Amino acid sequence: MRSIKQPGAPVAERIQWVEARGRAFSFTLQTGLTLLEAARRGFAAEGFASGVLNFGLGALGPFAYVMPALSKTGEHAAFYSETYRPTGITHTRLGSMTLGMRDGEPFFHCHALWTEADGKAGGGHMLPDETVVAEPFEVEAFGLDGAMFTAEPDPETNFKLFGPVAAVSAGARVTSRAFALRLRPNQDFAGCLEEFCRTHGIARAKIHGGVGSTIGARFTHGGVTEPFATELAITVGTIAPDASGALEAALDVALIDYTGGIAEGRLIRGDNPVLMTMELVLEVLG
């Protein structure tokens, strides 16, 4: 399987996880707010301080983002591009977000694909404080109670990355058992989730959110992304028994690589290792 050498030593625990409770809900992002504040308010209105969300068509402007890029030093296996600030209104096609805390303040990690005002197709990593909701649009969210995504220094990748930590229950209304996860580098995305579910007695689960990166990508439709540095969003994800009863992760994703190549489809199981991180929530269905 493909692998990329990280600057730091691998951590023994390859999945960072916290069991929690949660609830799926939808809300509308408010016009004129930064994307971060609009998301924070939507979760807070339901009693949550952390969680994940997915979105489709939306409008943003002003808008700022970075793309994956090669690292110019040995301090990171890959890095970020310069900041881009397209003019006019950018219309999102799809995306996913992790909402949590960084340095004691609300923060998010968000990957998406979009079309800029001049018609250019783009994608990448949105900047929380420089991106503003231009028109109201609805998002599908999952709030966490008992867990919080928190940005902490990660010695393996030498980045400050979101990972789940246990949190005091805020008493939000919850309906489901859930696991907040962060997958570490150089392990197959689908296989990692399947093994986690087997280990924890989970027969069926739905993925909410899903923000991270893979080492290129191999798709079931035959498509291949060769450039190794990507920004990826999960669009649909499930773990369920196949015809033989074995657990199978079905992961539909969208990504952009560091050359600007955009790809969408279902990932091949066993051939899509994580590059830096993968954050998501598993809602237990059985």
Domain harbouring 96, CATH code: 3.30.1330.80
Per-residue model confidence (pLDDT) at position 4: 97
233 and 128, same structural domain? no
pLDDT at position 207? 98
Rounded CA separation 104/106 (Å): 7
- pLDDT number for residue 272: 98
User: Domain boundary at 143, 164, 188, which?
Assistant: 143
Domain boundary among 87, 120, 143: 143
Domain count, the chain: 2
Domain holding 229, by residue range, is 180-284
User: What's the DSSP call for residue 71?
Assistant: -
pTM: 0.97
Residue 51 lies in a domain: yes
Residue 98's alpha-carbon distances to 1, 112, 173, 224, 248, in angstroms, are 28, 12, 20, 26, 24
- Amino acid occupying residue 83: T
Question: Quick one: 128 and 218 in the same domain?
Answer: no
Are 38 and 138 found together in one domain? Answer: yes
Q: Is residue 156 part of a domain?
A: no
Q: Give me the average pLDDT of each 10-residue run along the chain (286 residues).
A: 96 97 98 98 98 98 98 96 98 98 98 98 97 98 98 98 97 97 98 98 98 98 98 98 97 98 98 98 97
- Which residue among 114, 143, 172 closes a domain? 143
> Which phi and psi (to 5°) does residue 185 adopt?
-65, 160
137 within a domain of the structure (yes/no): yes
